[in-house]
Amino acid sequence: MKDSFQPAVYLMASQRNGTLYTGVTSDLPKRAWQHREGLVDGFTKRHGCKLLVWYELHSTMELAIAREKQVKGGSRKKKLALIEERNPQWRDLFEEIGS
């Protein structure tokens, strides 16, 4: 798995309409893989958030961090709307981001 710098904001879920986690990273394929494999101690591991259900790529880390704060600060309803708009089946998007 090669390292690549591409700032992104993402949502991981335990299952459809399950527990959600909002994160920001500079390497989405690597970070999503770490969550899937349970290598990240903390919230996602405790709650089984292994499905990448939404993400957004950004040109700079500053923009990604600002967007992460906006998403995190929004209601659960708003997070669900982001997912439903782009991924109504709640597919695991890990395969589409390449690894």
Residue 35's pLDDT is 96
Which stretches within the chain are classed as H helix?
28-36, 43-47, 61-73, 76-86
Q: Structure pTM? A: 0.93
How far apart are the C-alpha atoms of 26 and 74, rounded to whole Å? Answer: 22
Structural domains in the chain plus CATH codes: 8-97 (3.40.1440.10)
Mean pLDDT, each 10-residue run in order, the chain (99 residues): 79 97 97 94 95 97 98 97 97 86
